[in-house]
Chains A and B, each alone.
Chain A
Amino acid sequence: MTAPDPQTAPRQAPEAPPPPIAMLAELTHRCPLSCPYCSNPLELTARSAELSAEEWADAFRQAAALGVLQLHLSGGEPASRRDLEQIVAAAVEAELYTNLITSGVGLTPRRLEALDEIGLDHVQLSLQGVEAGPADQIGGYRGGFARKMEVAREIARIGFPLTINAVMHRRNLDRLEETIELALRLGARRLEVACVQFHGWAMRSRAALLPTREQALRARDVVAEARERLRGVMVIDFVPPDYYAEFPKACMGGWGSTGLNVAPDGRVLPCHAAETIPGLSFDNLRRRPLAEIWLRSEAFAAFRGFDWMEEPCASCERKTRDFGGCRCQAQAMTGRASATDPTCSRSPDRAALDAALREAAEAGAEAPLVPRAPAPG
């Protein structure tokens, strides 16, 4: 049976972090899609700077030795790497639970069969919408939706466990029921209803993508009903639009406490948006062992534990639960990464959030989107 989790207990000694559980490996920033809510950094890594398959293999061995159990292969689009199969083989050999996070574009039936043979554990397929027109418009890739449906059928035929990651926002949140039905039809074991988070590139389209309060409330009810109805059939995880929440989300389960993120060029980040925080310096796997980075890197130490907190977080009883929310969101909205996440009802910076909500209300449903600019060649 499951024992109480030592990882979530408040830690008194931030200088001795427990081993990380998960690693997100961004294999490349190249991607055939150009979603306006892209969570990759403003400055993308060029192909020529990407880690080689051998360097990734070494990173996976180091991660496993450090205590990482789960590996998420992400991007960009990981299938944009022609050596993806070799990279997955290295992950399997390191005995990591290996999850491929993909848009499906670039995954042929043959490649999927090869990945099955190699021992890939799980596939997470993103969904931009429930029908070709709007989905392909958001993704900026004609034929993307049809391709994705074919990939989903292939995944089901092979038998990979499948998670559908549906990115939701103002333009598609009203079609949440259809999204849930589509995930079911595709045979998903899990569905992530992930409302867009705003930092980095997504900030440019915030007024157009931020759901209305009515949409947010309705989404909560739709998810609650579907969870009840689909218990034991499909698990639904919900990332609500946090601008309407009372308290912020416990981002990363606490900075530098459970996971790490490796950028395509080998820089190791506490979360995938950490580069939006000015003044943090990141160590690179090419120059420093992973264990040392986890234990001693300046960027990881910056917001570990509770000493860095400002008021009201510093004396708040909820700080061991939500860790003051998201550092990158605090940075984006207040200009100070150590501030209380403004989505918290106790934040003194609520004005920034209210201004964003007003801006979105004025922008209306047809406000323009800014498609993601591609990675340099």
Chain B
Amino acid sequence: MSAPGPARNRAPAPPAPIDPAARPALPRGVRVRWDAVRQGWVLLAPERALRLDQIGVAILERADGARSFADIVADLAAAYDAPPERIAADAGRFLSALAARRMIELRP
């Protein structure tokens, strides 16, 4: 989903690897909300509304500025009983695409 307005011109985001020690956090003006009309979670940011799937919600729930990326990956791997390498690749791609659009901060 994206709001009407100027052309988006979404730049392709070559996934930059995320520092395992970086602590992802939602910056001010970016939030996750339940959308009762569409029955799903959405990420709201300036001029943007993105529908989130279950994994996206799970990652962003943990992006609290306290946990490191490595912690988040380990936690998700345990919760979903999935190989950590795959989680790291998927979550890394997701978070770096959001970081390129300034919808997530990667705190050192």
Chain A residues with CB under 8 Å of chain B are 1-3, 5, 7, 19, 21-22, 65-67, 69-70, 95, 97, 99, 121-122, 124, 159-161, 163, 189-190, 192, 194, 227, 231-235, 237-240, 249-250, 252-253, 258-259, 271
Contact = CB atoms under 8 A, between A and B. Distances in A.
> Which 10 residue pairs spanning A and B have beta carbons closest together?
A161-B29, A67-B37, A259-B4, A1-B56, A22-B3, A239-B6, A97-B44, A2-B50, A122-B46, A252-B4
A356 B43 CA distance: 42
B44 A69 contact: yes
Interface residues of B, number: 38
Nearest to A163: B46
Given A70-B3, A232-B102, A19 B47 contact: no
A121 B4 contact: no
Contacts of A65: 37
A171 to B, nearest CB: 20
Contacts of B35: 67, 69
B47 to A, nearest CB: 7
A243 to B, nearest CB: 15
A234 B46 CA distance: 12
A148 B50 CA distance: 31
A192 B48 CA distance: 13
B51 interface: yes
A234 B51 contact: no
B76 interface: no
A106 to B, nearest CB: 22
A1 B49 contact: no
Contact of A69 (B5, B11, B49): B49
A239 to B, nearest CB: 4
Nearest to A67: B37
Nearest to B14: A231
Contact of A121 (B1, B5, B9, B29): B29
Nearest to B99: A232
Interface of B: 1-9, 11, 27-31, 33, 35, 37-38, 42-44, 46-47, 49-53, 55-56, 59, 90, 94, 99-102
A97 B35 CA distance: 12
Contacts of B27: 161, 189
24 contacts: A1-B55, A1-B59, A1-B90, A2-B51, A3-B52, A19-B38, A22-B3, A65-B37, A67-B38, A69-B49, A70-B47, A159-B28, A160-B29, A161-B28, A161-B30, A161-B46, A163-B46, A190-B46, A227-B11, A231-B100, A232-B102, A233-B102, A240-B7, A253-B4
Contacts of A3: 51-53
A161 B44 CA distance: 13
Given A3-B53, A19-B37, A69-B49, A237 B3 contact: no
A21 B1 contact: yes
A3 B51 CA distance: 6
A239 B3 contact: no
A227 B8 CA distance: 13
Contacts of A19: 37-38
Contacts of B102: 189-190, 232-235
Nearest to B44: A97
A3 to B, nearest CB: 5
A2 B52 contact: yes
A163 B53 contact: no
Contacts of B51: 2-3, 5
B102 to A, nearest CB: 5
B53 A259 contact: no
A26 to B, nearest CB: 14
Contact of A194 (B6, B11, B31, B38): B6
B49 A237 contact: no
A187 to B, nearest CB: 12
Contacts of B100: 231-232
B29 A122 contact: yes
B15 to A, nearest CB: 12
A196 to B, nearest CB: 12
B9 A99 contact: no
B96 to A, nearest CB: 9
Contacts of A234: 102
Nearest to A240: B7
Contact of A237 (B7, B37, B50): B7
Nearest to A99: B46
Given A67-B38, A70-B49, A231 B29 contact: no
